Structure 1
Amino acid sequence: MVDQGVSIAPRRVHYAWTVAFAGAAAMVCGLGLARFAFGMMLPSMSASLGLSYGQGGVLGFANMAGYLIAILLAPLVLPRIGTRIAVTANLVLIALSMLGMAATESFSALCALYVVTGIGSGGVVLPAMSVMAQWFFPSHRGLAAGLVMSGPGFGIILSGFIVPRLAPAYGLLSWQLGWAIFALICAAVAVLAFTLIRNHPDTKGHLPFGKAPATPPGSSPMSRSAKLRLLVHMGVIFAIYGAVYMLYVTFIVTSMVDTFSLGEALAGDLWAWFGFLSIFSGILFGVVSDRIGRRRGMAVAFSVLAVSFLSVGFGPWMPGLYVSIILFGLAAWSIPVIMAASAGDFFGSAAAANALAALTFAFSGGQATGPVLAGFLAERTGDFSASYALSGAAAVLAIGLSLLLKTPDASK
């Protein structure tokens, strides 16, 4: 007898895990290099180009603007071309934009190219995460999303070790050489993604992996208006996360160098440790939310994030920095993982991509505003301590909002 929901060929590894692995590899580039390497690059870019804190924030905003464009287009484009083509094409787009950044020293050109990088980033993240709703039943959906979100951690480790050790070569500044190296990595991963990713388990003769639910996801007695209210409520929470997390990853390395007086090599090592810890954050909180429910999982995650932000929110205290890095690493990708799993759980696998697109749009709005406000606030105060303290307060607010969610699993 075939084990329902596991595999038609039970002695073989279910292909869902291959798709999750390919999604994680894509996320190494789509987030780890296209987004988070920027925080590691920013000190050397600022030094060579004379960028202010505000201009650094504007570059971060440019990336988020591109990300928002991708999220707006995804519901129109993704059903037509599928996850496999979408992820592959956007990885190629990221590689090309990085090559462009390696060839310029113009701030305006960098802004334009980083918009393109943001488009590619959003074009990788949404399909790579939402396709897990097709390949996994809710019993393992949080774990699967967590595995995919382990990818950015590897990208952060790469940038943390590579960037501080770069030197000018081949007529390129150190940061330009870094973007060129990352472009080659993204091109290689594009080939891998095209080879391994499949849009639906039907193409491999599989059912989704996991335990089939008694009631199909998205078929709960919630009315359409109740689902809309739930989507808006979740969007507000995701926007808060987007603002505070993007602020942190954009400027924490700059804070290490400017406020904590660390050398770039040591700052890079700490950044790499954050990347290492973050590999496990999505898996950890994916499993937690599978066990205790999505809203409680979010509340626990925001509690950890709040302590992380507040630990660096009151001036240069080295133990606080170490505590902050450790806790942020352990909870870094918790909220995106839980949101991705929730999209399939609450709105059904067929509507998961559209629900996640709406949630990610709110998330991207928060990401776009967080670094800009923090950059200009830092110019007034002299550092980012006040921004981190405000982030801690916002995370506390998000704990309450998470617990107030009226979800189909509200009994958990």
Structure 2
Amino acid sequence: MTRGRAIGLLASGMLVTLSAVALARLSFGLILPAMQAAFGLSYGQAGRLGTATALGYLALVMVAGGLASRRGGRLSILIGLACLVVGFFGLAAARDYALLLVLMTLLGVGTAFSYTPLISLIGTWFAERRGLAIGLLNSGVGSGLFLAGAVVPALTTADTPDGWRLAWAVFGAVALVATICVVFFLPDPPAVAGDSGSALSKSAAAQSRRGLRREVFTHPYVVIVGVVYAVVGLTYIVQAIFMFSYALAAGVDPVLAGRLAAAMGLIGIVAGPVWGTISDRLGRAVSLALAMTMAGIATALPVIWPTVAGFSGHYVLLGASVTGMFTSVLAAATETVSARAAPLAVSFVTMFFAAGQLVGPVAAGALIGEGDRFRLTFGLSAGFIFAAGALALVLLHTRVRAVAATTGGSAMQSR
């Protein structure tokens, strides 16, 4: 592969990640306070908007993986980006709550069709440096959060009642640019010749759809990755939706809070490839456990110190760790199955992630309620993150050692 082609692939992928994850999923919390004021929404209603996105994601993430396995990831990505463009521009014009629910659901559908097939597509193009490539892709999350953190507070605090609508329109324009880049610079990888190698020998039935499903759904390593990813989904979406509101309720200036969110995104841009390298060298389990420990500390800081310093520490540490969680999980999901099964594996673990995101906003919205119980909500969130980090380290590392021992034993016998 030429250097120019590699740059085109990764840059286009970063734009897709920026649009599908950072803007469609994680920037909602920055726009939420202005939307709450415009529509008179309670925290419960706001949480249901986040749940609508997760529901669209959960309902079709497996469909997206199946489509990518059969027809190629590029088609699926383009379908997803089309949904995002319609959803963003629709939110910029929406006038009632019911339509907001529909459009937020459409954003979830768009993310399902664009992000999960992208991971397996890029992972196949860069099979030898899978962790680094996925880490670079997830730098798009940091870029998007930096963009949103810089632009959204400036628009929503400007002397206009519809600044939040303009923010959604900006997101739509970015997704449109991403679509154009995918058309020109993101082809499907060449077919893997017979999907040869050890992955095929482990599952000869992988040539059929039933064989692919069996290979993924019954793989203990993939299932454990999914459980950990569910906790990541539950806790991170709660932070993405409600942490900005918590900062405002604690007396942090809105513009300063936006700058902190932008700083988190800026750190994430650098952290993505760093975590990819760590994942390639130390293994997915170790890098995932490290990233989740940092994220747990980040979530606990504003619970202990609901001050500017506490929120600053939160955004800095989370910016340094969030791409590590995504990169390590997704690299782990794809490296233990055949290349043909990779899109399905990513979709399968992402289904766990989406289930966590489905539960998180509703539960957090109800828990925060009218009493603004932010500290309790994020204290519980930190506890879940620490527990999942321990699971990642103990169970995943144990699984890796067991596979290595089995492989080594087989090699000795063959000698």
TM-score normalized by structure 2? 0.87
Q: Is 1:238 the counterpart of 2:223 in the alignment?
A: no
1:103 aligns with 93
1:404 aligns with 395
Deviation (angstroms), 1:172: 7.3
Q: Is 1:279 the counterpart of 2:266 in the alignment?
A: no
CA distance in 2, matches of 1:218, 1:294: 22
Contact 1:101 / 1:110 at 8 angstroms: preserved in 2? yes
2:32 aligns with 42
With over 3 angstroms needed to count, the CA separation of the structure-2 counterparts of 1:22 and 1:56, relative to structure 1, is: same
Question: Which of 241, 250, 253 matches 2:244?
Answer: 253
Corresponding letter in the other structure for 1:254: S
2:154 aligns with 165
CA distance in 2, matches of 1:356, 1:244: 19
Q: Is 1:149 the counterpart of 2:141 in the alignment?
A: no
Aligned length: 391
Q: Is 1:174 the counterpart of 2:163 in the alignment?
A: yes
The gaps in structure 2 that reach 5 residues or longer are: 204-213, 406-415
Corresponding letter in the other structure for 1:181: V
- What percent identity do the matched residue pairs reach? 29
With over 3 angstroms needed to count, the CA separation of the structure-2 counterparts of 1:229 and 1:161, relative to structure 1, is: same
With over 3 angstroms needed to count, the CA separation of the structure-2 counterparts of 1:409 and 1:283, relative to structure 1, is: farther
Q: Is 1:135 the counterpart of 2:125 in the alignment?
A: yes
Structure 1 residues 7-406: aligned runs within 5 Å: 7=1, 12-13=2-3, 15-137=5-127, 139-166=128-155, 173-201=162-190, 216-217=198-199, 228-259=219-250, 261-314=251-304, 316-379=306-369, 381-402=371-392, 403-405=394-396, 406=398
Corresponding letter in the other structure for 2:237: M
Higher deviation after alignment, 144-153 or 31-40: 31-40
Corresponding letter in the other structure for 1:146: G
* Structure with a larger share of its residues in helix: 2
CA distance in 1, matches of 2:168, 2:4: 36
CA distance in 2, matches of 1:233, 1:164: 38
Q: SS in structure 1 opposite 2:303?
A: coil
CA distance in 2, matches of 1:83, 1:224: 20
Corresponding letter in the other structure for 1:175: W
1:4 aligns with none
CA distance in 2, matches of 1:225, 1:327: 33
Corresponding letter in the other structure for 1:160: G
Corresponding letter in the other structure for 2:399: T
With over 3 angstroms needed to count, the CA separation of the structure-2 counterparts of 1:328 and 1:218, relative to structure 1, is: farther
Contact 2:65 / 2:116 at 8 angstroms: preserved in 1? no
Higher deviation after alignment, 372-381 or 149-158: 372-381
Deviation (angstroms), 1:42: 0.4
Higher deviation after alignment, 140-149 or 152-161: 152-161
Deviation (angstroms), 1:105: 2.3
Deviation (angstroms), 1:235: 1.2
CA distance in 2, matches of 1:278, 1:89: 27
Deviation (angstroms), 1:20: 2.0
Contact 2:142 / 2:269 at 8 angstroms: preserved in 1? yes
CA distance in 2, matches of 1:49, 1:299: 40
Deviation (angstroms), 1:229: 2.4
Q: SS in structure 2 opposite 1:51?
A: coil
Contact 2:252 / 2:307 at 8 angstroms: preserved in 1? no
Structure 1 residues 1-12: aligned runs within 5 Å: 7=1, 12=2
Q: SS in structure 2 opposite 1:284?
A: helix
CA distance in 2, matches of 1:291, 1:218: 25
Deviation (angstroms), 1:215: 6.2
Deviation (angstroms), 1:347: 0.9
Deviation (angstroms), 1:381: 4.3
Deviation (angstroms), 1:365: 0.4
Deviation (angstroms), 1:252: 1.2
With over 3 angstroms needed to count, the CA separation of the structure-2 counterparts of 1:337 and 1:219, relative to structure 1, is: farther
Q: SS in structure 2 opposite 1:313?
A: helix
Contact 1:68 / 1:365 at 8 angstroms: preserved in 2? yes
Contact 1:219 / 1:348 at 8 angstroms: preserved in 2? no
Contact 1:102 / 1:172 at 8 angstroms: preserved in 2? no
CA distance in 1, matches of 2:333, 2:291: 18
Deviation (angstroms), 1:363: 0.6
Report Cα offsets for 1:254-307 as digits up to 9, x if no partner: 111112x12221111111111111112332222111111111111111111111
Q: SS in structure 2 opposite 1:166?
A: helix
CA distance in 2, matches of 1:307, 1:266: 21
The gaps in structure 1 that reach 5 residues or longer are: 1-6, 208-213
Q: SS in structure 1 opposite 2:188?
A: coil
With over 3 angstroms needed to count, the CA separation of the structure-2 counterparts of 1:109 and 1:130, relative to structure 1, is: same
Corresponding letter in the other structure for 1:282: G
Corresponding letter in the other structure for 2:83: L
Corresponding letter in the other structure for 2:344: N
Q: SS in structure 1 opposite 2:72?
A: helix
Deviation (angstroms), 1:201: 4.1
Q: SS in structure 1 opposite 2:25?
A: coil
Deviation (angstroms), 1:317: 2.9
With over 3 angstroms needed to count, the CA separation of the structure-2 counterparts of 1:172 and 1:225, relative to structure 1, is: closer
CA distance in 2, matches of 1:102, 1:361: 28
Contact 2:143 / 2:269 at 8 angstroms: preserved in 1? yes
